[in-house]
Chains A and B, each alone.
Chain A
């Protein structure tokens, strides 16, 4: 077992091994025997936990913890969908340890891959969930792997059109970072010798209407069946711009263009929101056991939209 402890970014880029930030995902997989081999500990690299925010936008270092994101008042004022989403994920203890970068790059939650069954993710060439129990899997079936992408944070960043800073490679959008969902072996496009160092967010307008919701069986601390983030710019009683994203429904988090198109230029009234949410699952092709997510996605989008514009739950 090798533990690399680089003290500069260059050393980290040169080290061979799996990068580790907060360790909440990698640590679990190593304990369960699902990951072996050298680890590159990133905690000794200075300045990766910087957080800057002003009228021009925000820059969030890759090692900023999720708890810090979720409880940052200025971030909440300007990027409400992000802070609400991050505050709703995992548990208080995990949020204090897990980082922004790790949250974007975490491994799949598929219960087959986590159990070490041979599959695309574990070095095999099949998806046992397809013929097995896939009740928590996708309805937008974009690639051979049927597991949904686990990153709530990435889903929320989609509505802010964030840029991911990559050392050792090109900066890219969140969508580019996560790919198109067709590569069943991984949930991101980061190459060897590349590290995520931070995320840049553009400016927002004061008074944007934002919300985040997840559908779960228990109230807290549960992976979502379906989740949704909404960011609306309202202008004179009209929706001037809309960004709506959904998670837990596809191998990557999705922007729901059809919903956005039905929102823009209309009033934020219940009928308009209902009509827009009805388009949330357009193009979905559920698996035999995920049909329920089609309706649940429409409903979750509706509930999130209503919450964003201040309609009662």
Chain B
């Protein structure tokens, strides 16, 4: 045995080639340490070995022999200053990377304090020390501030955290699906297609069963495999390694078929009407009908007024036409918690723990799939380690875990590894865009956009919708095309269609401004009819960042430039969202099936209630389909759906409290936000609640003043009146010698009304900016042209932003214009990321005189484009 200490306790591990992360998570149940990349890139598994941060996923147990290991569970009592600072500064969102970041930051803290005492460390030193940790939500800006404050003994680190689950996340106590451990639980793996297009002739599961594993066929009703990674079967065994060995033993009899590995080319992925029903939906909206020609589907045309824009563009003098061709890359969601599910059957009742953005929708979908009554299916997601649109439906891990658990009569867990996550976990399709603007005397005369999305085995990529609703009343025509191929299906990704369409349109608008000699913000203000965005333009134009920008491209090696871009997003709301409220042991307990994916949903509900019950202790219990119906986290709808429902429930509970106390106390009782007024006295809520034990209610999200835009509710969704806006101003520094672009500063202006929780909302906007920087500069899914395999199947080759790449970000919320919405505001998660890449493109143009047309803007493109 190999002996060492873990958090002060002696531990003996067998002499195998296991690494520390298996010992910690699987043998000791210390699940605060996360396994994400498995390759030493992301730092989520960071622990201390003799006080020094190392990677548990790569540290052989032999390296720990005779030494002491400290995990996140070993540092939290009392909370370390780094943990307090992370909580106080809201330096986290989904929380999945947080334990690793905290452990790395404690290492830096110890080192810094030993060398410099309480001097405040500079940003670049912190970034260098934390360069081995990745965060997908984009909490970096607050992490940098938190670490600096902790090192400097800044009293701000002892401010109470706003995010209600912050302490659970900084201590590693928060339980994610990957951390669920049930008695007797088996580990499942999915067997996936090794080739892009094949017919599955037969499946011999017996070799796996001979090894003692449980195995299921996942293709009973569809023998056509349409991409590398398409699920074929699933296998479960007591350990993951045993399951992998059993999976390797399965006989998979495939007949390879010619594959469409060039998007849009033949042979068709879905050759007939029946097979087309199997095409995944790359959007979060309903399918829009369109014509199929082989692997080309479209156009889905949105034009207003009909026929005018294209004719006008055709007839416009070329001198007054602006536009061009733009290309974007495919961006992979890669949430740090992978797709993961634990399934347990008890008789004909099923409980599923799954990492999802849609607890209730997954329950509905699963019940339908299994032909069960929804009441027989329970879906739980207490904490979700990021989603970004990739976790909106019942995925492979759900199907595999449920089927395996049914046969095994034991709980089964299926967790995608990072290679699976980066292959089939989801991606934003790459898009080719042609855009044309006719401009007459400074006015926008017409706009057309043709967008062809590489959707893989999916359809319905919406790209034209975002600019369709911008820039006032000029005739416009947007055509969306899907180019299908035998590649993994595209999925909706944060603001589906928005970033690519704005990458093209907002750069062309910039070109128009340049050619007219007009301030680009002034031109947008003139063209954009949206009064809320106009307020943002005014704010942006007054910024020092904008006013003092260099007006001409620079000439040295390092050139700075400032760019602007705008975006809009529709206002979606779930009018069925409910919040339950109950007084339990003197605590106001709010319940909803809604999930927390890092956006601060628990905090939104808690703050909505805190505003109605001053001083009351509040508990928020969510992420369980047994609780009152809550919305999915999609379309930026969550806060504006649950916040008003929470207020409505609170108002009703106050009324009920007054009724009950009127009986108990006698005489008239008035319930106010501060407490109960009775006989000239104010009894504050903390004192009153114990008398109200068991009092409960539920309320549905009230409607908007003046109603919604869409006449009826479809799929729990209504379109509300008004659209949210974003105007981002970005400063870049371009190293014209070696081609690196650094985003130095970003001002993010958001017009979405009042924020239910401004602190967590700010974090979400910062994260949106950082994801946008990844989209603009680093992220690109690459597939092998010969086989359709994903080459960027690890976090070294698929590059998400690191902490050293993060600019100083200032977030400004414009609160005007949403008075018709209860609570006065709408969602921000999507609108905040839409214009980032376009703003960076415009800033690069301003810095260098060269306009990038292809994403990501890589060093080799700068070297080629800018020259010396």
Chain A residues with CB under 8 Å of chain B are: 1, 3, 5, 20, 22-24, 27-28, 30-33, 39, 41, 43-44, 90-94, 96-97, 109, 111-112, 114-115, 117, 128, 131-133, 135, 213, 215-223, 225, 292-293, 295-296, 299-300, 302-303, 313
B799 at interface by CB-CB < 8 Å: yes
Residues in chain B within 8 A of chain A (CB atoms): 15-17, 19, 38-41, 43, 46, 52-55, 57-60, 62-63, 65, 104, 127-132, 244, 419, 557-558, 737-740, 742, 777-778, 782-787, 789-794, 796-797, 799, 801-802, 804-805, 856, 858-860, 863-864, 868
Of the candidates B59, B127, B787, the one whose C-beta lies within 8 Å of that of A117 is: B787
A91 in contact with B131 (CB, 8 Å) = yes
Measured between alpha carbons, how far is A217 from B799 in the docked complex, in Å?
Answer: 9
Whether A5 touches B859, Cβ cut-off 8 Å, given contacts A93-B104, A97-B55, is: no
Q: Which of these, B132, B738, B784, B864, contacts A94 with CB under 8 Å?
A: B132
User: By the criterion CB–CB under 8 Å, are A28 and B860 in contact?
Assistant: no
* A23/B791 contact (C-beta < 8 A), A296-B863, A299-B737 known: no
Question: Is there contact, CB below 8 Å, between A114 and B794?
Answer: yes
Q: What are 12 sample pairs from A and B whose C-beta atoms fall under 8 A apart?
A: A1-B16, A3-B15, A20-B60, A27-B57, A30-B17, A31-B38, A91-B132, A92-B53, A115-B791, A133-B783, A215-B738, A220-B128
Q: Which residue from A30, A96, A215, A303 sits with its C-beta under 8 Å from B52?
A: A96
Distance between B581 CB and nearest chain A CB, rounded to angstroms? 45
Complex formed: what's the CA distance from A1 to B41 in Å?
A: 26
CB atoms of A132 and B785 under 8 A apart: yes
Tell me which of B128, B244, B778, B859 contacts A296 (CB under 8 A): B859
Given contacts A92-B128, A93-B43, A133-B785, A109 and B738 within 8 Å (CB-CB): no
How near does chain A come to B110, taking the closest CB pair, in angstroms? 13
Distance of A92 Cα from B62 Cα, bound (Å): 21
**Cβ–Cβ contact A111 & B786, under 8 A:** no
Besides the contacts A92-B104, A92-B132, A223-B796, what 20 more A-B pairs have beta carbons closer than 8 Å?
A: A22-B58, A23-B58, A23-B60, A27-B40, A31-B57, A41-B62, A92-B129, A92-B130, A93-B43, A96-B52, A115-B419, A115-B789, A132-B786, A215-B739, A218-B777, A218-B802, A218-B805, A219-B740, A220-B127, A222-B796
Q: Is the CB of B737 within 8 A of A96?
A: no
Could you tell me if B737 and A302 are in contact, using CB atoms closer than 8 angstroms?
yes
Q: Would B128 and A111 count as touching, CB distance under 8 A?
A: no
Question: Is A111 a contact of B797 with CB atoms below 8 Å?
Answer: yes
Q: Which residues of A contact B46 (CB under 8 A)?
A: 93
Separation of A92 and B52 alpha carbons in the complex (Å): 10
| Set A114, A128, A303: member contacting B786, Cβ < 8 A | A128
Partner of B801, one of A91, A97, A111, A218: A218
Q: Are A32 and B62 in contact (CB-based, < 8 A)?
A: no
> Which residues in B have their C-beta under 8 angstroms from that of A299?
737-738, 863, 868
> B787: which A residues are within 8 A, CB to CB?
117, 128, 132
Question: In the complex, what residue of chain A is closest to B774 when comparing beta carbons?
Answer: A218
Among residues of B, the one whose C-beta sits closest to the C-beta of A109 is B796
Query: Which residues of chain A come closer than 8 Å to B17, judged between CB atoms?
Result: 1, 3, 30, 39
Nearest Cβ on chain B to A272's Cβ, whole angstroms: 18
Given A219-B740, A222-B799, A292-B863, A97 contacting B16 (CB threshold 8 A)? no
Contacts of A109 in B (CB 8 A): 796
Chain A residues lying within 8 Å of B19, measured Cβ to Cβ, are: 23, 27, 31
Kindly list chain B residues whose C-beta atoms are within 8 Å of the C-beta of A5. 15, 62
Also in contact, A115 and B41, with CB within 8 A (given A23-B19, A97-B54, A220-B127): no
- Cα A61 to Cα B714 in complex, Å, equals 68
Asked, given contacts A92-B131, A111-B792, A300-B738, whether A27 binds B60 with beta carbons under 8 Å apart, the answer is yes
Taking CB atoms, residues of chain B closer than 8 Å to A97 are 40, 54-55, 58-59, 63
Nearest Cβ distance between residue A139 and chain B, in whole angstroms? 12
Least Cβ–Cβ distance between A297 and chain B, in angstroms: 11
Report which of A32, A218, A303 forms a contact with B778, defined as CB distance below 8 A.
Answer: A218
For the complex of A and B, 10 pairs with smallest distance between CB atoms: A91-B132, A292-B860, A220-B131, A219-B804, A27-B58, A28-B39, A111-B791, A93-B132, A221-B131, A220-B804
Q: Nearest chain-B residue to A303 (Cβ)?
A: B737
* Known pairs A3-B16, A32-B38; A217 contacts B778 (CB<8 A): yes
Q: Which residues of B contact A300 (CB under 8 A)?
A: 738
Is there contact, CB below 8 Å, between B53 and A96?
Answer: yes
* A211–B58 alpha-carbon span in the complex (Å): 31
Whole-angstrom distance between the alpha carbons of A83 and B796 in the complex? 23
Contacts of A27 in B (CB 8 A): 19, 40, 57-60
Q: Which residues of the partner chain A approach B739 to less than 8 Å between Cβ atoms?
A: 215, 296
Closest B residue, CB atoms, query A226: B738
**In chain A, what residue has the closest Cβ to B53?**
A93
CB distance from A33 to the nearest CB of B (A): 7
Q: Which one of B46, B58, B131, B782 has the greatest number of beta carbons of chain A within 10 Å?
A: B58
- Check A91 against B41 for contact (C-beta < 8 Å): yes
Query: Bound state CA distance, A295 and B736, in angstroms?
Result: 12
Contact among B244, B777, B782, B797 with A33 in the assembled complex (CB-CB below 8 Å)? B244
Shortest C-beta distance, A7 to chain B (Å), equals 12
B676 CB, nearest partner CB in chain A, Å:
55
- Given A1-B17, A111-B791: A219 and B802 interface contact (C-beta under 8 Å): yes
Question: Hey, which chain B residues are within 8 Å of A91, CB to CB?
Answer: 40-41, 43, 131-132
- CB-CB under 8 A from A3, the residues of chain B are 15-17, 62
How far, in angstroms, from A138 to B868 measured CA to CA in the complex? 24
* B740 pairs with A22, CB closer than 8 A: no
A211 to chain B, nearest CB (A): 14
Given contacts A23-B63, A111-B792, A296-B860, contact A221 B802 (CB under 8 A): yes
A128 to B859, CA, bound (A): 25
Q: Are A28 and B859 in contact (CB under 8 A)?
A: no
**Contact present for A112 and B791 (CB under 8 Å):** yes
Choose one: B16, B55, B65, B805; the contact of A219 (CB below 8 Å).
B805
CA distance A241 to B659 in the complex (A): 93
Whether B782 pairs with A31 at a CB distance below 8 angstroms is no
Are A133 and B104 closer than 8 Å at their CB atoms? no
Which residue of A22, A217, A219, A303 is within 8 Å of B858 (Cβ)?
A217
Q: A215-B739, A218-B804 are in contact. Are A295 and B132 (CB under 8 A)?
A: no
- Cβ-neighbour of A313 out of B41, B557, B864 (below 8 A): B557
Smallest distance from the beta carbon of A190 to chain B beta carbons, Å? 21
A92-B128, A296-B863 known; A28 vs B737 contact (CB < 8 Å): no
For residue A135, which residues in chain B have a CB less than 8 angstroms away from its CB?
782, 860
A224 → B minimal CB distance (Å): 10
Report Cα–Cα, A116/B131, bound state, in Å: 28
Structural contact, B740 and A216, CB atoms closer than 8 A: yes
Nearest to B103 among chain A residues (CB) is A93
Complex-state Cα separation, A23 to B18, whole angstroms: 11
Q: Are A41 and B60 in contact (CB under 8 A)?
A: yes
**Do residues A217 and B53 form an inter-chain contact, with CB atoms below 8 A?**
no
Q: Find out whether the CB atom of A43 lies under 8 angstroms from the CB atom of B15.
A: no
Please report the C-alpha to C-alpha distance between residue A215 and residue B739 in the assembled complex, in whole angstroms: 8
Instruction: Please name the residue on chain B nearest to A293 by beta carbon.
Output: B860
B-chain residues with CB within 8 Å of residue A114 when the two chains form the complex: 794, 797
- B782: A residues at CB distance < 8 A: 111, 133, 135
Minimum CB–CB distance for B41 against chain A, Å: 7
The complex places the Cα of A30 from the Cα of B792 at a distance, in Å, of 18
Give the nearest-CB partner of B786 in chain A. A132
A104 to B21, CA, bound (A): 26
A132: chain B residues within 8 A (beta carbon): 784-787, 791
In whole angstroms, what is the CA distance A223 to B868 when docked? 24
B41 to chain A: which residues have CB within 8 Å?
91, 221
Give Cα A128 to B782, complex, Å.
14
> Do A28 and B863 touch (CB < 8 A)?
no
Bound-complex Cα distance A20 to B19 (A): 13
Given A92-B104, A303-B737, are A31 and B778 neighbors across the interface (CB < 8 Å)? Answer: no
Chain B nearest Cβ from A146, distance in angstroms: 14
With a cutoff of 8 Å between Cβ atoms, the chain A residues found around residue B785 in the complex are 131-133
Kindly provide the distance from the CB of A172 to the nearest chain B CB, expressed in whole angstroms.
Answer: 28
Q: Give the residue among B19, B63, B801, B868 with the most A Cβ atoms within 10 A.
A: B63
